[in-house]
Amino acid sequence: MKLEVKVPAVGESVTEAVIGSWEKKTGEFVKMNDVILLLDTDKASVEVVAEKDGVLTTTANAGDTVQIGATVGYIDTDAQPAAQPAAAKTDAAPAAKTESAQAAPASDAGGDRKTHPELQAHQSPAVQRIVNEKGIDPSSVTGTGLGGRLTKADVAGASAAPAKAEAPAAAAKPAAAKAPAAPILQGPSKQGDIKRVPMTNIRKRIAERLVQAQHNAAILTTFNEIDMSKVIDLRGKYKDQFKEKYGVNLGFNGFFVKAVIEALKAFPAVNAWIDGQEIEYHNYYNIGIAVSTERGLMVPNIKDADQYTISGIELAIRNLATKGRDGKITPDDLSGGTFSITNGGVFGSLLSTPILNPPQSAILGLHKIEDRPVAINGKVEIRPMMYVALSYDHRIIDGKEAVGFLVKIKEGVEDPERLLLEV
């Protein structure tokens, strides 16, 4: 029996996908629930698994664009795995490596040796002392002693040997100014070293949505800064007990999600968007958390985030981040968001203007916490401060609402006890 391998439905509004890769090859025996195919949609990467054991036959190639419901292969459930041929034994021992003997460097011991010229006449130790003291060349003096030897009288009146004439010094020439040395490349030139790769379906969709946001919305950004002292103190006091009880770190995102929800309740237009000639308000809070992955930036959502405690929010964020890194994000994770948060501070960003995630009308940007001098009760103190930015669609959200929304978040994070008590 042959089972069709079909492109599954991967979310509303998704009509096609791209075959990212075949994890199993034609003719390969697969088992039920083996991942045989990866699909790239405009929202996520989706795994397709085998429904039964059998031999796979593919009818589409990696990189092909296929429609939802299309057949891209078959699994023959009646076929058996091919027998693997026994590996042939070989008794041939690896050839022994021979090392070429290097000739020892020839010795210079037998080379020519310089010898000192013999004196033309022999002299006594007394004569030798005078010769040395006066610097006389014995060969230039005629010996009158026995056998032509030099006597004290011979060397007493002799003059010292004239010093060798040195070559006249070359006339000093003025030093010419040196031209600056040309920079020297440390390696081969990289000019023309270009790599071209096709954009993935997800990256294409991200690009389309970002351009769509710029073209279709009147985007403005308002800024504020938050004193993180109390949240940092609260984390420092309870982080160990929190980790021990819930198995997840107590981060800042949980506090910001809670503060965002309270602000959305106070300013419902920020949780709405424009649909044609109507404004669609939402009475639920699906908070998107931007996650950076190898495939690009994704914004999976915490559905009904207002129903979670701080620990539940932190666990949900960790799970979404793990799924994003592992390529397990599903279309359902990415759909239905009403408001988004992006944290550039984890990469060191001090300030930025985030871009909307259509069709949403606003997004909150968090940034790096940095010690700065601030005025507290008329005195300058050093406090851990964070800039926050709210980008919003001015077609639906007025400036007064945007500023009030950001102030509400600031008040909640700067007074976390009040935030957690929802008063």
User: DSSP character for 273?
Assistant: E
Task: Check residue 154 and give its pLDDT.
Answer: 75
Beta partners for residue 18, in sequence order: 40, 65
Nearest to 79 by CA among 52, 55, 95, 44: 55
- Rounded Cα distance between 339 and 290, Å, is 11
Domains for the chain: give ranges and CATH numbers.
2-76 (2.40.50.100), 201-421 (3.30.559.10)
Nearest to 30 by CA among 47, 44, 49: 49
Element (H, E) at 154: helix 152-156
Q: Say whether 394 is catalytic.
A: yes
C-beta of residue 356 within 8 angstroms of C-beta of residue 219: yes
Q: Say whether 122 is catalytic.
A: no
- Rounded Cα distance between 306 and 92, Å, is 72
Task: Check residue 402 and give its pLDDT.
Answer: 97
Q: What is the pLDDT of residues 20-37, one digit of tens each?
A: 889 999 989 999 889 898
pLDDT over 50 (residue 15): yes
Beta partners for residue 197, in sequence order: none
Average pLDDT over all residues of the chain: 82
Specify the length of the chain in residues: 423
Beta partners for residue 48, in sequence order: 37
- Rounded Cα distance between 388 and 391, Å, is 10
What b/e readout covers 39-74, taking b as 16+ CB neighbours within 10 angstroms? bbbbbbbbebebbebbbbbbebeeeeebebebebbb
Q: What is the pLDDT of residues 229-269, one digit of tens each?
A: 999 999 999 999 999 999 999 999 999 999 999 999 999 99
What sections of 162-228 are H helices per DSSP?
A: 201-216
- Rounded Cα distance between 360 and 282, Å, is 11
- Rounded Cα distance between 361 and 356, Å, is 7
pLDDT over 50 (residue 91): no
CA 236, 240, 245, 251 dihedral sign is positive
Task: Check residue 370 and give its pLDDT.
Answer: 96
Task: Check residue 253 and give its pLDDT.
Answer: 92
- Rounded Cα distance between 97 and 399, Å, is 80
C-beta of residue 77 within 8 angstroms of C-beta of residue 56: no
Planar angle of CA 198, 200, 203, nearest 5 degrees: 115
The contacts of residue 401 (CB under 8 Å, 6+ apart) are 267, 269, 270
Percentage of the residues of the chain whose pLDDT score is greater than 90: 44
**β-pairing verdict for 301-302 and 339-343:** unpaired
How many C-alpha atoms does 105 have within 13 Å on its Cβ side? 3
The contacts of residue 239 (CB under 8 Å, 6+ apart) are 249, 250
The contacts of residue 66 (CB under 8 Å, 6+ apart) are 7, 16, 17, 18, 19, 60, 72
320-329, 372-381, 389-398: least confident range: 320-329
Name the active-site residue from 215, 275, 398, 415: 398
In the chain, the N- to C-terminal Cα span, in Å, equals 64
Estimate the crossing angle of helix 253-266 against helix 310-325, to 10 degrees: 110
Q: What is the pLDDT of residues 164-209, one digit of tens each?
A: 545 455 455 555 566 667 778 788 888 888 988 887 766 777 788 7
pLDDT over 80 (residue 312): yes
In this structure, the number of other CB atoms found within 10 A of the CB of residue 238 comes to 12
Name the active-site residue from 233, 240, 304, 394: 394
Task: Check residue 80 and give its pLDDT.
Answer: 80
